[in-house]
Amino acid sequence: MELIYFDILPSPIGRILMGTTERGLRLLHYPLTKSPEGYLRRLDARAIRSRARTARVRKQLVEYFAGRRRRFDLPLDLRGTSFQLAVWRALQGIPYGRTASYGDLARQIGRPQAMRAVGTANHRNPIGIVVPCHRVIGSDGTLTGYAAGLDIKKNLLRFEAARVTCPSPRAAASPS
């Protein structure tokens, strides 16, 4: 039986259950409102609480929530169908503070008609924030479903947008 090392991180969006394997980050579940054991049992793995094994994930998430990290540099243990993996790779290409539509992602992976399937793969993303599924919106610019809830999605998008530096109007003006 596989081992999964877990710990819980308090964050601005609630408690986050972090889980890693020997290969990398396997899960981020948030907001964690109940005991983690029930959730971990569904993974068909032996769970061991380990702050040491989740330290790198913890450090990078703390940096993200402090506004000091825009890209994650973690080994990932993503498991899914080839379609899901393609969607999750595409999600990682959406820049911090920006959004893309489900249609954008469908076109990017070469399946322009698969917008609903992209949405389903997005919903099943096991490591949101690091694989930034919160950055996906409807083609009309509306916020659509998010496994952790639309309020958290809205807060993550606002958080990132507030930390994107834009040149001031004076700096952007050309000298005369």
Residue 133 is a catalytic residue: yes
Residue 26: φ, ψ to 5°: -110, -30
Spacing of C-alpha 22 from chain mean position: 20
Side chain identity at 150, as an amino acid letter?
L
CA–CA distance, 162 with 126 (Å, rounded to integer) = 26
- CA-to-CA separations, 36 to 17, 65, 106, 131, in angstroms, rounded: 7, 22, 33, 21
- Which position among 76, 129, 133, 148 bears the catalytic label? 133
Query: What's the DSSP call for residue 13?
Result: T
Q: List the one residue out of 40, 28, 45 whose CA is nearest residue 131.
A: 28
Residues known to be catalytic = 133
